[in-house]
């Protein structure tokens, strides 16, 4: 079985820090922090999510 080099990361909402998404990324190809636009269920709109530690 191959070794997994795609660690899981958490994405926190910029407007509502309680909302969290999880995803994975390849740290060799993407060294900077991720920012994605995702739908927030609490705010009921699309919000920017940033990678957190």
pTM above 0.85, yes or no: no
Domain ranges across the chain: 8-52
Over residues 31-43, the pLDDT tens digits come to 999 999 999 999 9
53 neighbors 40 (Cβ within 8 angstroms): no
Over residues 5-53, the pLDDT tens digits come to 788 999 999 999 889 999 999 988 989 999 999 999 999 999 999 999 7
- The pLDDT value given to residue 20: 93
Architecture in CATH of 8-52: Single Sheet (2.20)
- The pLDDT value given to residue 1: 67
Q: Who contacts 44 (Cβ-Cβ below 8 Å, separation ≥6)?
A: none
* Joined tokens for residue 44: 């009921």
The answer on pLDDT for 4 being more than 90 is: no
20 neighbors 10 (Cβ within 8 angstroms): yes
């Amino acid at each position: 079985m191959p070794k997994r080099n795609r660690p899981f990361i958490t994405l926190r909402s910029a407007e509502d820090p309680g909302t969290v998404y999880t995803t994975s990324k390849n740290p060799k190809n993407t060294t900077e922090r991720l920012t994605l636009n995702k739908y927030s269920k609490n705010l009921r709109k699309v919000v920017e999510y940033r990678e957190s530690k």
